[in-house]
A and B are shown apart, each in its own frame.
Chain A
Amino acid sequence: EVQLVESGGGLVQPGGSLRLSCAASGFTFSSYWMSWVRQAPGKGLEWVANVKKDGSEKNYVDSVKGRFTISRDNAKNSLYLQMNSLRAEDTAVYYCAREIALRYWGQGTLVTVSS
């Protein structure tokens, strides 16, 4: 059974940093692109970033470029999102999802940026 479990969310002040993790199991992690997708409270879905199977290619939505970094550790079956210079508008539930077509999703982790 495919499982994606996010962690690392919490309350952070504007300008602060947070690192999200996603633990994957039930499939060969190194065979798939992985994505982060977020959902602000009461709003729709927004793709944030993705990373190629071997980590050699990374893509970001414009609003997070230069502030967020996606990475992965295939030996640990884990996906990460380092978020710096956080803003109030980054407040959202962050989901990790498998592959470009977003076949499987985790349960999400809430990030709140507020003073």
Chain B
Amino acid sequence: DVVMTQSPLSLSVTLGQPASISCRSSQSLVDSDGNTYLNWFQQRPGQSPRRLIYKVSNRDSGVPDRFSGSGSGTDFTLKISRVEAEDVGVYYCMQPTLWPPLTFGGGTKVDIK
């Protein structure tokens, strides 16, 4: 199984400042079709998860452009350019490349300093 490792476990950020979350996979997420499948999810307190980013860097509809994804192979990053109060929650990376099983990172909790 592909192990997804996120860091840091938690992040306390001042409003308006940037934030960065790292995700590393135990195997390359480059598929045989040449695409890299790595998604990011946001889970606000008391809510269901919501997908933010798919295939490393593609934002889902309705996702603010302050969220961006990057990376390749086994190393990936989610960046928030200017953190807002509504960004508080837990962020997860997930790989749908080498499955089953689909695997998630352990999560990174983001709060406001």
Contacts and interface: CB of A to CB of B under 8 A. Distances in A.
A44 B107 contact: yes
Given A95-B49, A105-B48, A45 B92 contact: yes
Listed residue (A37, A45, A106) with the most chain B CB atoms within 10 angstroms of its CB: A45
Contacts of A88: none
A103 B51 contact: yes
B104 A101 contact: no
Sort chain A's interface into a size bin.
20 to 34
Interface in A91-115: 95, 100-108
Contact of A101 (B49, B96, B106): B96
Interface string B31-65: 00000010101010000111100100000100000
Interface string A17-42: 00000000000000000010100000
Contact of A45 (B54, B100, B104): B104
Please classify how large the interface on chain B is, using the bins under 10, 10 to 19, 20 to 34, 35 or more. Answer: 20 to 34
A45 B49 contact: yes
Given A95-B49, A102-B39, A61 B101 contact: yes
A56 to B, nearest CB: 15
Nearest to B37: A101
A35 B99 CA distance: 13
B103 interface: yes
B102 A100 contact: yes
A89 interface: no
Interface of A: 35, 37, 44-47, 50, 59-62, 95, 100-108
Interface of B: 37, 39, 41, 43, 48-51, 54, 60, 90, 92, 94, 96, 99-107
Given A95-B48, A103-B60, 5 more contacts: A45-B49, A45-B94, A47-B103, A50-B100, A102-B102
